[in-house]
Chain A
Amino acid sequence: MIRYLHTITRRLSSALYITGDKAQEHFALLIPYIDFDKQLQNKSKLEHSINARRLNVNLEQVEKRWYFFKYLDEQRITLEFVNTEIGKGIRDLLKRGENADELKLQAKLVKEDLKTLKKYLYGVEESAALKILSLPNLLHPDTPEDKERLLFEHLIQPPSSRSHMQIGEHLIKFVNPFFYFLRGDAALFEYSLMNYASSALNSFTHMSNSDFSRTVVIEGCGTDFRDKSVFTLETRMDDDEYARSHLVGGASLYSFMSYFTKHLVIEKRLPMRLMTTARNYTPNSASDANLFSVNQGTALDFFIALKDNDQEINKEFNDLVSQIIATYKALGYHFRLVYVPARNLKNHESLRVAVQMFSSFTQTYIEVGHCSIIDNFLSKRLLFTYSVDKERKFVKIISGTLLKVPPLLACVLENNGQSNNLLSDFLKKFL
């Protein structure tokens, strides 16, 4: 049957999963760890995650594709075995000085079959792998299905106000979402707030990260750069067409993952608690002329790497949530923490708690920070491992943003209702 399968020409569609045929032309950094059979043992959980996130994924089709790949791959193994055996047979016959023409003919047919199969197999392997890699993380039991669930609330909603763009007219020069300036007290607010925030996470180790990440990491984190969810640089002379550079900013999950991709850490160094105060660049699809939809901001991002232990990650997460609450309480504004419903999670997140402040002008809650359990979802894709007795384990990850300046500044201006008390006595201590 195999002889009748015709090969299909494919273009390179993924920087993360590069099959053997393309690896000759394009450098393949790694091959993501795929354990779909194991995932299928928890099929109902996976289905629940897909449905609750309202993803348009047909798990049955993914399964079919996977089994088809496995079936063909078994054929390949069989053919390769047969090929070796025939080879041995031919050598034996020739040694004995006998005629091996019949076996040679068989060998030719098997080799042709194998060649055709392999060509075809790469395509099947790629499409199966990419389908599997597009599946979401499982959901954490605390993730609500439909609506946000309140976890914590501090103080009461402030009264309605003018927009922060009006209140901060002299402090914000806004031309477009790319091009805005913070001046005077607004710049000092950013400066002192970041100083305060880094002091608040005093048990964390500081990092100063790269602002650029390559496509393999972007895709490894489940983002398709073609849909403009990250900034992509024009290719330069030294760039591989499929290893593009992306401007993400040091305060991003991508930048932390770039650091750990394809690396192994010694078990006793875990847990690792890291933080950075840096830029974050994220293309914003809304083109409103305000600080809620800007493409650049200063933020404090954290990244915690943990052993493969569910209890430990839950405890770490709860401790972190308490630290976040304490950090915000000291600022003296109304805020709340909510569990984000499944449909608003990113594919790699299993649980997300959002820190929200209130926009007194739009009368809506705005996310100013977050904290997510990623588990080992990204570690498997980008090979961030440790080993216990020579057995490979995947690192579990908690990541998030303690705060990002533009929306927080906007909410504080609106909560204050005026611009002249932006630098509270508390923040002045951090100037």
Chain B
Amino acid sequence: MLRISPVTKRLIGTTSQLLWHLPENPELNLEYLSNANNAEEINRNNRARKGVGDIDLVLKLHNTLNELTPRDSNYESIHKQFCNELLKIPNRTHPSVTHLREPSVINTIGQKGVFDFKPREFHDICKRLNFVRTDQLGNVAGNRSYYLLGEMAELEKALINYTVTHLLKHNFELVSVPDILHRDIIEACGLNTRGDRTQVYNLDSNMFGPDLCLSGTSEMALAALYANEVVPERDLPIKLAGVSRCYRAETSSVAEERGIYRVHQFTKVEMFAISKPADSDSILEEFRLIEETNFSSLGLHLQTLDMPPHELGAPAYRKYDIEAWMPGRNMYGEVSSCSNCTDFQSRRLNIKYDNESELGYVHTLNGTACAIPRMLIAIIETYQTDKGVIGIPEVLQKYMKNKTVMSKQLAIPDLRLIKYKK
């Protein structure tokens, strides 16, 4: 049986005296992946998930390797290729969703609000009330930049504080995370960081070295926090919460994603858990419940979707999306999701548990407790009135000096662009 040596490790860090390693060749489940009997199942899964993996190639390389010895001249290069191909195979899929061709609504909370006027869109409301600035920022801050103004910025903070309080009550440990990460961490979490189409921002490689990227979610840093650790089983599950800025280079010209619906930078409160394999299904349900309770307490109308294989991305085994009703847009918009990644990330990051009789890979889970721009859209559109003010959800009022409504922001004035250059 071929073994991939976990001994070769790479150094992560900008200064060499600080040690931080990720396994170069993660210990993947070779017993399953390189067994020809499973090829059909893996192939079916890969196709259903629109994955980029090629299990036939993996098996072919495996057979070639078995015929060679490490002394052969081409052994190393084939071994490298074999490992790379293995990493492209997506996670398995939860049996309850393998048959799904489209998202399945599994829960609905609240109802669409009734308005006796035509509800306005977020962007329109914000323009009238001076809540957000998005115009004339491309040349000074960057494309799709935005500034939240006055009470809108307070609403952002109120949402973060409300969510964090909620998570602390559920025994999450708050962690303050780095936003600039080594490329390997992001790749280990299942995201490509190179090429023109990557969603990942890179720091200038001439100035800051080739491997620093901006984090797209604190899930990555939280996962990396436990890289190479062996956690005693009695300490599981570990539940972490992070508040961070998220940077995503993705662009969109879809009309539905105008305004601040899809942006390059935003604040997010994230939930992350490390669990025993047997517990990850139930923790995913816990995450979903926390999200649903949190958003419904804000008075939003929601639907929860069980996502089909092709919407899962490589790491997830099962994923729920929660959509909130946005009356101005007259559509449901995704505000949150939660995923069970089983051992996909833990193998790549080398996170194990120890129950005194054996070592095993933990399962990791992540969920969005609150992603700012879309939550603002859902709240502002839901709480709009035709009187030029916006209601503040009751549970958030105590985080906003007990204000009950938000009105036009005058303290930050309308600016006028200076047309001439001098």
Taking a contact as CB atoms closer than 8 A, the residue among A176, A210, A216, A228 that contacts B207 in the complex is A228
Q: Is the CB of A210 within 8 A of B137?
A: yes
Q: State the Cβ distance, A224 to closest chain B Cβ, in Å.
A: 12
Q: At the interface, yes or no: A263 with Cβ under 8 Å from chain B?
A: yes
Chain A residues within an 8 Å CB radius of B180: 178-179, 231, 247, 281, 295-296
Q: State the Cβ distance, B219 to closest chain A Cβ, in Å.
A: 14
Given the known interface contacts A212-B265, A216-B139, A217-B140, the answer about A263 and B18 at a Cβ–Cβ threshold of 8 Å is no
Give the contact stretch, choosing among B1-9, B39-47, B49-57, B195-203. B195-203
Q: Is the CB of A277 within 8 A of B203?
A: no
Chain B residues within an 8 Å CB radius of A173: 225
Complex CA distance for A211 and B205, rounded to whole angstroms? 20
Chain A residues within an 8 Å CB radius of B151: 206
Q: CB-CB contacts of A262-281 with B at 8 A, as 1s and 0s?
A: 11111001001010111101
Q: Is the CB of A289 within 8 A of B18?
A: yes
Complex CA distance for A389 and B207, rounded to whole angstroms? 48
Q: At the interface, yes or no: B70 with Cβ under 8 Å from chain A?
A: no
Complex CA distance for A232 and B201, rounded to whole angstroms? 10
Q: At the interface, yes or no: A132 with Cβ under 8 Å from chain B?
A: no
Chain B residues within an 8 Å CB radius of A276: 153
Chain B residues within an 8 Å CB radius of A287: 14-15
Q: Is the CB of A238 within 8 A of B143?
A: yes
Complex CA distance for A177 and B180, rounded to whole angstroms? 10
Chain B residues within an 8 Å CB radius of A426: none
Given the known interface contacts A191-B164, A212-B142, A259-B133, the answer about A178 and B207 at a Cβ–Cβ threshold of 8 Å is no
The contact size tier of chain A is: 35 or more
Chain A residues within an 8 Å CB radius of B245: 211, 249-250, 278-279
Q: State the Cβ distance, B223 to closest chain A Cβ, in Å.
A: 12
Give the contact stretch, choosing among B275-283, B296-304, B344-352, B414-422. B414-422
Task: Name B181's closest neighbour in chain A (CB-CB).
Answer: A179
Complex CA distance for A298 and B179, rounded to whole angstroms? 11
Complex CA distance for A295 and B413, rounded to whole angstroms? 33
Q: At the interface, yes or no: B154 with Cβ under 8 Å from chain A?
A: yes
Q: Is the CB of A175 within 8 A of B153?
A: no
Task: Name A236's closest neighbour in chain B (CB-CB).
Answer: B249
Q: State the Cβ distance, A174 to closest chain B Cβ, in Å.
A: 8
Task: Name A405's closest neighbour in chain B (CB-CB).
Answer: B176
Q: State the Cβ distance, B418 to closest chain A Cβ, in Å.
A: 5
Q: State the Cβ distance, B37 to closest chain A Cβ, in Å.
A: 42
Q: At the interface, yes or no: A234 with Cβ under 8 Å from chain B?
A: yes
Task: Name A268's closest neighbour in chain B (CB-CB).
Answer: B413
Of residues 248 to 275 in B, which have CB atoms within 8 Å of A's CB atoms? Answer: 249, 251, 264-265, 267
Taking a contact as CB atoms closer than 8 A, the residue among A27, A28, A263 that contacts B415 in the complex is A263
Q: Residue among B143, B174, B202, B221 with the most chain A CB within 10 A? A: B174
Chain A residues within an 8 Å CB radius of B142: 210, 212-214, 245
Q: CB-CB contacts of B122-155 with A at 8 A, as 1s and 0s?
A: 0000000000010011011111011111111110
Q: At the interface, yes or no: A3 with Cβ under 8 Å from chain B?
A: no
Give the contact stretch, choosing among A45-53, A136-144, A182-190, A361-369. A182-190
Complex CA distance for A198 and B146, rounded to whole angstroms? 21
Given the known interface contacts A181-B175, A183-B173, A214-B141, the answer about A176 and B418 at a Cβ–Cβ threshold of 8 Å is no
Q: State the Cβ distance, B370 to closest chain A Cβ, in Å.
A: 14
Q: At the interface, yes or no: A383 with Cβ under 8 Å from chain B?
A: yes
Chain A residues within an 8 Å CB radius of B141: 210, 212-214, 217, 255, 258-259
Q: At the interface, yes or no: B186 with Cβ under 8 Å from chain A?
A: no
Chain A residues within an 8 Å CB radius of B407: none
Chain A residues within an 8 Å CB radius of B174: 187-188, 191
Complex CA distance for A183 and B417, rounded to whole angstroms? 44
Q: State the Cβ distance, B239 to closest chain A Cβ, in Å.
A: 13
Q: At the interface, yes or no: B32 with Cβ under 8 Å from chain A?
A: no
Residue total for B at the interface (Cβ-Cβ under 8 A): 71
Q: State the Cβ distance, A351 to closest chain B Cβ, in Å.
A: 26
Given the known interface contacts A232-B207, A265-B413, the answer about A190 and B176 at a Cβ–Cβ threshold of 8 Å is yes
Q: Is the CB of A183 within 8 A of B175?
A: yes
Q: Is the CB of A231 within 8 A of B173?
A: no
Complex CA distance for A180 and B212, rounded to whole angstroms? 14
Q: State the Cβ distance, A28 to closest chain B Cβ, in Å.
A: 6
Chain A residues within an 8 Å CB radius of B249: 236
Complex CA distance for A304 and B422, rounded to whole angstroms? 24
Task: Name B422's closest neighbour in chain A (CB-CB).
Answer: A31
Taking a contact as CB atoms closer than 8 A, the residue among A214, A244, A289 that contacts B140 in the complex is A214
Chain A residues within an 8 Å CB radius of B230: none
Q: State the Cβ distance, B155 to closest chain A Cβ, in Å.
A: 9
Complex CA distance for A178 and B180, rounded to whole angstroms? 6
Q: Is the CB of B18 within 8 A of A176?
A: yes
Q: CB-CB contacts of A224-236 with B at 8 A, as 1s and 0s?
A: 0000100111101
Q: Is the CB of A234 within 8 A of B203?
A: yes
Complex CA distance for A30 and B156, rounded to whole angstroms? 33
Q: At the interface, yes or no: A360 with Cβ under 8 Å from chain B?
A: no
Taking a contact as CB atoms closer than 8 A, the residue among B225, B412, B422 that contacts A181 in the complex is B225
Q: At the interface, yes or no: A314 with Cβ under 8 Å from chain B?
A: no
Q: At the interface, yes or no: A105 with Cβ under 8 Å from chain B?
A: no
Given the known interface contacts A29-B139, A212-B264, the answer about A383 and B418 at a Cβ–Cβ threshold of 8 Å is yes
Complex CA distance for A238 and B196, rounded to whole angstroms? 10
Given the known interface contacts A210-B137, A277-B157, the answer about A263 and B201 at a Cβ–Cβ threshold of 8 Å is no
Chain A residues within an 8 Å CB radius of B98: none
Shortest 3 CB-CB distances between A and B: which pairs? Answer: A208-B148, A182-B176, A206-B153
17 additional A-B pairs beyond A30-B422, A208-B152, A210-B142, beta carbons within 8 Å, are: A29-B140, A30-B421, A176-B13, A176-B15, A177-B14, A178-B181, A183-B173, A206-B151, A210-B145, A210-B147, A211-B265, A250-B245, A269-B413, A274-B412, A283-B208, A385-B418, A431-B165
A sample of 28 inter-chain contacts (CB < 8 A) reads: A27-B139, A30-B422, A175-B20, A176-B14, A179-B180, A183-B173, A191-B164, A195-B161, A205-B411, A206-B154, A207-B148, A208-B152, A208-B267, A210-B141, A212-B145, A212-B264, A231-B203, A232-B203, A233-B201, A234-B203, A245-B142, A247-B247, A249-B245, A261-B140, A262-B417, A263-B415, A264-B416, A287-B15
